[in-house]
Amino acid sequence: MTRELITGNAAAAWGARLARADYLPAFPITPQTEIIETIARWSGEGVMDCRMVMMESEHSMITAAGAAAATGVRVYTATSSQGLLYGMEMLYTVAGWRAPFVMANVSRGLAAPITLESDHNDILAARDSGFLQIHCATCQEVLDVTLMAYRLAEDRRVRLPVIVNLDGFYLSFTREPVNIPGQDAVDAFLPAFDPGPATFRAGHPVSQAVAVLGGAPYSYFRYETALAAQAALDVYAAIGADFFARFGRRHGALERYRCEDAEIVFFMMGSFSTKAKEAVDRMREDGVPVGLLRLCMLRPFPTELLRSALTGKRAVAVIDQNLSMGKGGILHTEITSALYGYRNAPPIVTSFVGGLGGRDISIEEFFEIAAINRRASETGEIPPPRLLYTDTELREIRKLQAIAHVERQEEIVP
């Protein structure tokens, strides 16, 4: 084991390398490219024994990944944003094949307007595809969870592909100290993929992923997939326990930070949650009882864990780095649906949307979100959803709009 400063992208590549991925169909896209560049370099140097193939698009890349995984080969691939959406048809398809592999998604906001920076609308668009989804908050988690994701995907009770999400820039291009486990330790944790009866070889079975006529067989296969996804919760908990025993780091479907005696809880996903930890620590110093609940696994959704973690809390502040047009924050919808009808649910669940397209969330904003929730829990009135956007930011956009409409002026002022 070594402890090194590496980026989230390098941590993802290390995950694939230590998992001994055999086959890597790839297609570049910012901010993911460093992952495949790193693996390509290792492959060229001969330190990683794998077959890497540059595909002509993400659509083909995901098809190739699913097809190879169906033959019992261990597959890794990675994408981001527009690329993930371009491969969307095949996301649903290969999950339906029950082909297990791991794909990194380096979160980046979606066009239009086009951006390179991070938010979660890309990955959330894949929410219902049948891929399981794990969201990381640190570079260490990216490496660890990639290894755990293989065990999860390949488990016979699950047998589904898994997306490991890391935020663009905030993790992808950020170096942090990461423990890189030794190959032997990883081999003991993650043995070679044994596909069992579900393998596809030339002519065996004769047809893979057949068409069905009629709703009953279709419903059967779809629901089997849903049951497998549900089963992944318990399987992941067991994998997490084994990982902790071997490596001393705990990763589960939910992370609780100073939650036990908290009255107000931030609820969010991804790397911005470490910012929330900083805010929690500062507020605790000032005697404010706040905590953080981080959703690490979005699919399957850990409803029971969430309910028990929030039992008796006075308010939950949901911070969404995404936006469903005409509805609002997606996590807010997810959590309220999980809490509705639960007797001990917190009475106040508020909605905040921030961090779109990499827009930072300041510590003062976390402080204010907590203050709003405190007031709401006293009055019992839930405030309307709030976009985190300051008057300075609005002034800046007004300036840009003035430039964009400059044709009204006679001449461009240099």
Partner 1 sequence: MYRIRFHGRGGQGMKTASRILGTAFFIEGFEVQDAQRYGAERRGAPIFAYVRADRTAIHERGVIGRPDLVVVADDTLVPVSAAGVMQGIGPDTVLLIDSAESEKTWRERLNLQGPILVLPRLIPLEPSEMAYVGTECAAAAACLTGIISLASVRQAVQQELAYMKAGVVDRNVEIASGAFARMAAHSGIVQEGGTTSHHDRTVPSWVDLPADDIGESSPAIYGAATSVAVRTGLWRSMRPVVDTSRCNRCTWICGSFCPDSAIARGSEGYPQIDLDHCKGCMICVAQCPPHAIVAIPEAEAVAQEKEGAAS
413 binds partner 1 (CB under 8 A): yes
277 binds partner 1 (CB under 8 A): yes
- Whether the upstream peptide bond of residue 300 has omega within 30° of 0, thus cis, is yes
412 binds partner 1 (CB under 8 A): yes
112 binds partner 1 (CB under 8 A): yes
- Cβ of residue 48: shortest distance to partner 1, in angstroms? 17
173 binds partner 1 (CB under 8 A): yes
396 binds partner 1 (CB under 8 A): no
- Cβ of residue 169: shortest distance to partner 1, in angstroms? 7
12 binds partner 1 (CB under 8 A): no
What CA dihedral angle connects 90, 94, 96 and 99, to 10 degrees? Answer: -170
By CB under 8 A, what part of segment 175-204 binds partner 1?
175-177
226 binds partner 1 (CB under 8 A): no
By C-beta, is 98 or 374 nearer to partner 1? 374
- What gap in Å lies between CA 345 and CA 352, rounded to an integer? 19
Q: Which helix (H) or strand (E) holds 165?
A: strand 162-167
* Among positions 92, 221, 342, 367, the unique one binding partner 1 when judged by CB under 8 A: 367
- Cβ of residue 98: shortest distance to partner 1, in angstroms? 37
Q: How far is CA 393 from CA 294, 320, 361, in A?
A: 28, 19, 13
- Cβ of residue 388: shortest distance to partner 1, in angstroms? 7
By C-beta, is 275 or 313 nearer to partner 1? 275
47 binds partner 1 (CB under 8 A): no
Stretch that binds partner 1, among 76-84, 89-97, 142-150, 282-290 (CB under 8 A): 282-290
- Whether the upstream peptide bond of residue 197 has omega within 30° of 0, thus cis, is no
325 binds partner 1 (CB under 8 A): no
Stretch that binds partner 1, among 111-119, 184-192, 226-234, 337-345 (CB under 8 A): 111-119
56 binds partner 1 (CB under 8 A): no
- Whether the upstream peptide bond of residue 177 has omega within 30° of 0, thus cis, is no
Amino acid letter for position 409: Q
- Cβ of residue 121: shortest distance to partner 1, in angstroms? 16
- What gap in Å lies between CA 369 and CA 107, rounded to an integer? 24
Please return the burial class of 64, using the count of CB atoms within 10 Å of its CB with bins 0-12, 13-18 and 19+: buried
The count of C-alpha atoms lying within 13 angstroms of the C-alpha of 316, restricted to the half-sphere facing its C-beta, is 27
By C-beta, is 113 or 203 nearer to partner 1? 113
Q: Which residues does 364 contact at the CB level (< 8 Å), separation at least 6? A: none
363 binds partner 1 (CB under 8 A): yes
- Cβ of residue 393: shortest distance to partner 1, in angstroms? 8
Q: Please, which residues bridge with residue 91 across strands? A: none
Q: Please, which residues bridge with residue 320 across strands? A: 353
Stretch that binds partner 1, among 143-151, 192-200, 247-255, 401-409 (CB under 8 A): 401-409
DSSP assignment of 247-316 equals HS----SEEEES-TT-SEEEEE-STHHHHHHHHHHHHHHTT--EEEEEE-EEES--HHHHHHHHTT-SEE
User: How many C-beta atoms lie closer than 10 Å to residue 376's C-beta?
Assistant: 20
- Find the angle CA(346)-CA(278)-CA(243) to the nearest 5 degrees: 80
Stretch that binds partner 1, among 19-27, 77-85, 330-338, 364-372 (CB under 8 A): 364-372
Say how far residue 13 (Cα) sits from the centre of its chain.
16
Q: Which residues does 251 contact at the CB level (< 8 Å), separation at least 6? A: 141, 144, 145, 148, 240, 243, 244, 296
Site size for partner 1 (CB under 8 A): 50
Stretch that binds partner 1, among 86-94, 213-221, 280-288, 311-319 (CB under 8 A): 280-288
356 binds partner 1 (CB under 8 A): no
By C-beta, is 253 or 388 nearer to partner 1? 388
Q: Which residues of this chain interact with partner 1, rule CB under 8 A? A: 5, 112-113, 116, 169-170, 173-177, 271-272, 274-275, 277-279, 281-283, 285-286, 288, 360, 362-365, 367-368, 386-392, 394, 401, 403-409, 412-414
